[in-house]
Amino acid sequence: MANLTLKHLRYFEALARQGHFGRAAETCAISQPALSMQIKELEETLGTPLFERAARQISLSPFGVQFAPRARDILRAVDELGDMARAAQDQLAGRLRIGVIPTVAPYLLPALIGDLAQTNPGLELHLSETLTPRLIQDLTDGRLDTAIVALPVSEPSFTEVALFSESFVLVRPARDAALPVPDAEGLRELRLLLLHEGHCFRDQALSFCNAGASRPREFLDGNSLTTLVQMVASGIGVTLIPEMAVPVEIRSANVALARFPPPEPARRIGMIWRNTNPLAPQLLQIAGVVRDAAEALRAARVAAPPHGAA
């Protein structure tokens, strides 16, 4: 095993994750033939195939399935050695890999990136916008340093730090602006537009509707909050969006906003990271910057309520 290197493991991990030589090579910033050669060299060193190659797909061999988690553990441990050295410095610098859920990223990141550049000028941000299950997996595998998600995640291996809470707002066609605001039971009788399955915001909206045992009358799914709001503007139904999204999503939509009577539906947003991450003290400082950026956005919304708000 003298010829087994970290480079081999990183190339293996990329190919195992992507399941495609071209995409894995792009991730590793090398050519596809070079990646193929490195994988072949690794398999020859181990004396057994790591992948099963078909005409249009590639998958892990039975040995590759066993090899993958151990390779990830080694790579994560090596990365954490580097993080230990970074943690010993006065200020966090270098690469910081942050994951963000899609119902937060477009609204918070523009302000947050600027704030982080001011407070930590040596940071090199790598941002990933995807759904919570993928963020949790990427954190577990060491592909992310931290993630901004809806709490609770309730993973024993993660630290959770609450950042802020925000209410959900009802979005309905402008013609319905004068109608009474429905309660949770009344909302179940409307055509409710929701994000596709996998979005935690969808689950939170359904929880408010109490739709576990019996679903709302009619569902229509969308890929983004923008799609849902534009569908509402067309008169198709109603939807819920988080307060943070209001200034961006309704500025060009002919819709009416309304707040629910107490207790309003809401969510809690926080940061999570692995308990073993040596950068935990620095990540706590980053969490403070995120919290301040969110508070500044909230203050701006209060000072200039959007058109259509009720």
**Residue 94 in contact with residue 87, Cβ under 8 Å?**
no
pLDDT at 206: 79
Domains and CATH numbers, the chain: 6-78 (1.10.10.10), 85-164+269-303 (3.40.190.10), 165-266 (3.40.190.10)
Q: What is the DSSP letter of 174?
A: G
* Residue 210 Cα distances to 203, 206, 304, angstroms: 10, 6, 33
**Residue 192 in contact with residue 239, Cβ under 8 Å?**
yes
Average pLDDT, the chain: 86
What is the average pLDDT across 93-118?
91
Length reported for the chain: 310
pLDDT at 198: 73
pLDDT at 137 over 50: yes
Q: Which of 97-101, 182-186, 284-288 has the lowest mean pLDDT?
A: 182-186
pLDDT at 308 over 70: no
- Rounded to 5°, angle at Cα 205 from 199 and 210: 130
Per-residue pLDDT tens digits for 164-179: 999 999 999 999 988 8
pLDDT at 213: 45
DSSP-assigned states of every residue in 3-60: T--HHHHHHHHHHHHH-SHHHHHHHHTS-HHHHHHHHHHHHHHHTS-SEEE-SS-EEE
Decide: helix, strand or coil at residue 237.
coil
pLDDT at 219: 58
**Residue 302 in contact with residue 277, Cβ under 8 Å?**
no
Q: 221 or 275, which is more confident?
A: 275
Helices and strands in the chain: count of H runs, count of E runs: 11, 11
pLDDT at 98 over 50: yes
